[in-house]
Structure 1
């Protein structure tokens, strides 16, 4: 893996120092709940990040982004705490939404919707997934049932959405719906009386502000100039967001597993059993050795995919491969960390058990492993047939 650029090394060093010195102490803050840190805690951490010059570190002062390889280096370090991405404004869904708006949004849309996100003054939500019980869109976005109908210089949107991360407390929404032309994306100010939070789901993960909500959209009127791009091109814009967003998940959770492995290694070197440190027992030492191997392989996969994106390719196949390889490797790492630490590993005394929960959810978010493998298998067949 090539060494980080001078710019990435400088920013990454500042990010790591801030996370270790200022964010990690917040991990025991009572404002961290089952549906993520409170908005008051988020704003408090972001004010400190702003003062330290590390808020939204992957976006340059001129509005441009670091390269994907540079972003990988920086976002991995922001992920050393589950609170790090939230504190530094590198978390999902905001990070992916900022990327999409930067690529597709008009100048006015960027001023109104993107700028507050980049400044860390607002959170956003991406309204795509729909309730499975109603046959709505999930892993297959073509099943979308939410409708968008033109009405003069407005669009009227109706439907229900599910697993909408950060909907509670968000100020910016990107709503996907289906018009007669196909999928569309709309930008909306939140809250809106036509958008009702029906409930916030109790899920295995707990790092994202606002949790994951089920939402009803009833007669939402959106001015036509708040459509992102053009009617029927929503899936094309989703593809612009897709590969980088998949990859940034890998970056952040790689950092979390680096930290979990640090904690497990420290525990194994200090804890004694049967007359010697745990790490001197092969069953424990071998697990930590396997963690180092998986961490390095995950790092290399992320860097490889980032290089593909930096080369201008869409990276759809490469990001699928990376998402599968990295999420599965990180699950093995998190599981071993829990196992090495025994009872302590399943307790809340360290963030190891939270990392385990978060990584388990990551194997589903941005496409389950099995969907990515199915998509890759289709490509294998297609390539073989046309060869």
Structure 2
């Protein structure tokens, strides 16, 4: 039985949508059990069926606006910190939250712990991919590290490649480096050096630089970025997608009866496209490089997203993502030291 520690108080719609999503996941996945960490006056009354669900009372909550590291250190009896502690102590196999991203990253790194040999754990997510044989690609780092060294980007290639192969099922996934041009001499010194490290590696299938305009066109199965660029690109994609969908709807409604009729005929296609771009249909963002699965879903996620993310966590555990990644890093420790010394 897999046990997932859940921060029931994290997220815009917590604890109601969190509990609802966990119950849906419990009914869907018969080999999952859950520990719900939350306030005693809010969470228990929401649980309709306590089968494979254990409630653990806490006295504090980390708010979205709290300073991450400070909140982790000062709110030791918060739902997020206690859930992370359960994973550290071996009482749970994975950690889930829809709450404060920075605080969850802090809990992942300082409580759950980094894998030996990983310099900087990174935040990764699967985004829709159009124009390739796969419908998703892995994008990282999404902001766990605002500043990076070439070796960090190199390690992200390893972590992202393992995630794509183990969780998404891609064979020999293609890894690209986000840059401002396709040529290997493009970019600043960080990206030039990272490109050279990736170009000569046997650890993953490097296919070169990827420009921002190519992110969604299937150019790579894994795209590696420094944390600042990755976070900026992700928000640009999300904002553009939402704006385009709103403008498309506005144009259809403003085009008279012909536009409305055309929109009605195209409704199935629009619905399919919206589902591909809807985070509620996807899983959460994963902290790669730590000793257990730690997954963060969108702060405004509702029950559907929560339930789907539980399936994502189950796949990570079933496919031994963490242990296989750790074993690879240990086996290639000397090679990684050589890469690091080159920086």
TM-score scaled by structure 1? Answer: 0.27
Pick 1 or 2: higher relative contact order, CA cutoff 8 A, min separation 6.
Answer: 2
Which structure carries more helix by proportion? 1
TM-score scaled by structure 2? Answer: 0.30
